[in-house]
Amino acid sequence: MLEKRIQAARGHIPCDLVLRNARVVDVFSSGLIETDVAILQDMIIGLGREYRGENEIDLKGLYLAPGLMDAHVHIESSMVEVPQFARAVVPLGTTSVITDPHEIANVLGYEGIRYMMESSKHNPLNVFFMLPSCVPTSQLETAGSELRAADLFPFLSERWVVGLAEMMNYPGLLTGNSAVLDKIKIVKGKRIDGHAPGLSGQDLNAYIAAGVQSDHECTTAAEAQEKLRHGLYIMIREGSGTKNLLALLPLVNQKNERRCLFCTDDRHPHDILTEGHIDSMVRRSIQAGLDPFIAIRMATLNTAEYFGLHQLGAVAPGRRADLIAFADWHDFSVDQVFKNGEKVAEAGKAIYTPPQRSTAAVRGSVNIRWLEGDEFRIPANGRQCRVIGVVPDQIVTESLCLDCPQRDGFVVSDPQRDLLRIFVIERHQASGRIGKGLISGFGLKRGAVATTIAHDSHNIICVGIDDADIIKALKTINKMGGGIVVVNNGAVIESLELPIAGLMSDRPLQQVSEKVKSLNQAIRDLGARLDDPLMTLSFMALPVIPQLKLTDRGLIDVQRFQPVDLFIEK
């Protein structure tokens, strides 16, 4: 094959495909090359007008750029299986993703990672894996599995595994936790991604000195600047619950842009269908004034080089023929997508034959103790209490100190003050553990919402007004085997089954998107005022994102990385 490639590149034999009359986006030197592109099998073998092809396509002056790459994504957050995710993002120009399957790994462990790998086969999308570093995220919650360094080590020899995923347990790293450090030690030359919101000074130095090489949690340009100056790559994130693109774009300039990448992290199906994927980040960056060549480079070459994927990220000889064609810089709407030298999407529609559904299967994952009815009472043991304060469009929270709403000796929800009871119910071991707290900023006036998507251990998280609706929501989720439920006056008004680890549906993304849209609208009809209340709720149980969170083991002060009592004054 190598000999044939050389012959074709020299023009001695025809290529399989020639793309005529392209304006190639040169990501190496920020220019345009008006030329033809020759492809043999899945590889670009030359640029030039002299090539002949068994097949030829006239691009009629369209821009031709490398396929887009997502530097950090949890595919599970799309709520669909990999083939359906690919069906949605490939027509938008994404041909490669670097995924961290820690959502499903926190539920199903090794079985979950293997399931994602098997599901990724035979799709026109490169799915590279970063191994979950924090299963569980911390000892402050109960996950469905625990993955040690020895459990992860066998995966490192696999072709599609490129490193260790986001090191969220930075307190464990900084204090020298042996289980955390063992995972860093086994990587040996592969990438180690970071996850350290607000980390600064000497602690940041120690974090980087341990081997961490990137961060996607920056929310301000000042934070990103410090981390850049200390040698980290910065992944600029624009997800559904956390949107940092416009805040961080002013940081990017010609001197530092090669160390900046784009990622979506967690993006709901509705946002993929209505806003886009990495293409939307490129488009919005250009419209905000970023040099178009820099924007495309951040979505292609920078990501490829960071992860050592040197056959991707550019339109050049020896690179994989993963390509996108588009007509206009400013609009940046992808017209055609080529994967491994074959056209797989046109005019925003997939035109490839989808693979047969994977035979990989997973076991049921919702195991909760029988509810007697009084589990959600909270004795009022003081006047003031700690309250989780929602920050719109962010996954960080405030730690508020407020007068506790109470009646007849028990804590109650007070919709008028926007103080609601919130619970996290352990769902992996049927232990009966329930974390209990209060949240402000969610806005619910009546009813209850419950979901098995609760980052990162994915226990059941529920917010509501009265016990009857809360219990109805939980029993419904248990019967479904995982999902999302909205209840009002004892009746289920909207629901979505997520039978795969309580995280993903087996239905097409379009159907799931419509369901999620209906669920969010139902929650807003009950009074919530957030743009995406489901995404916000799903992050209220993540004890590595400041400041105050709730797990099945209780309220967690993330700054101190320890449990705290609900009541401040006894």
Q: What per-residue confidence (pLDDT) applies to 125? A: 98
Q: Does some domain include residue 32?
A: no
Q: Does some domain include residue 414?
A: yes
Average pLDDT (438-467) is 96
Query: Residue 205 is inside which H or E element, if any?
Result: helix 201-209
Regarding whether 146 and 276 lie in a shared domain, the answer is yes
Residue 36 clears pLDDT 80, i.e. is over it: yes
E strands, 6-152, are 15-26, 31-40, 43-47, 53-58, 63-66, 68-73, 94-99, 126-131
Last residue of a domain, one of 281, 313, 345: 313
Overall pTM > 0.85: yes
Average pLDDT (442-462) is 96
Q: What per-residue confidence (pLDDT) applies to 413? A: 97
Closest CA to 347 of 369, 325, 331: 325
CA atoms of 236 and 98, how far apart (whole Å): 14
Last residue of a domain, one of 273, 295, 313: 313
Last residue of a domain, one of 313, 328, 363: 313
Residues spanned by the domain of 501: 384-564
Q: Does some domain include residue 131?
A: yes
Regarding whether 110 and 234 lie in a shared domain, the answer is yes
CA atoms of 295 and 101, how far apart (whole Å): 27
CATH number of the domain to which 223 belongs: 3.20.20.140
Q: Does some domain include residue 560?
A: yes
Q: Does some domain include residue 300?
A: yes
Q: What per-residue confidence (pLDDT) applies to 357? A: 67
Regarding whether 430 and 307 lie in a shared domain, the answer is no
CA atoms of 543 and 444, how far apart (whole Å): 23
Regarding whether 397 and 294 lie in a shared domain, the answer is no
Regarding whether 412 and 293 lie in a shared domain, the answer is no
Q: Does some domain include residue 469?
A: yes
What's the pLDDT tens digit per position in 310-354? Answer: 999 999 999 999 999 999 998 999 999 999 999 999 999 999 988
Q: What per-residue confidence (pLDDT) applies to 169? A: 86
Q: What per-residue confidence (pLDDT) applies to 89? A: 97
Q: What per-residue confidence (pLDDT) applies to 252? A: 97
Confidence grade of residue 494 (pLDDT, cut at 50, 70, 90):
very high
Neighbours of 270 (CB within 10 A): 23
Regarding whether 504 and 408 lie in a shared domain, the answer is yes
Q: Does some domain include residue 463?
A: yes
Please count the structural domains in the chain. 2
What's the pLDDT tens digit per position in 128-138? Answer: 999 999 898 88
Averaged confidence pLDDT in the chain:
94
Give the pair of three-digit tokens for residue 53. Answer: 């092809």
Residue 116 clears pLDDT 60, i.e. is over it: yes
Q: What per-residue confidence (pLDDT) applies to 509? A: 93
- Are the CB atoms for 311 and 325 separated by under 8 Å? no
Q: Does some domain include residue 345?
A: no
Choice between 281 and 198, residue whose per-residue pLDDT is larger: 281
Regarding whether 391 and 308 lie in a shared domain, the answer is no
Q: What are phi and psi of 385, to 5 degrees?
A: -140, 165
Confidence grade of residue 157 (pLDDT, cut at 50, 70, 90):
very high
Regarding whether 397 and 277 lie in a shared domain, the answer is no
Buried-state track 331-354, b at ≥16 Cβ within 10 A, e below 16: ebebbbbbbbbbbbbeeeebebee
- Are the CB atoms for 270 and 313 separated by under 8 Å? no
Regarding whether 277 and 161 lie in a shared domain, the answer is yes
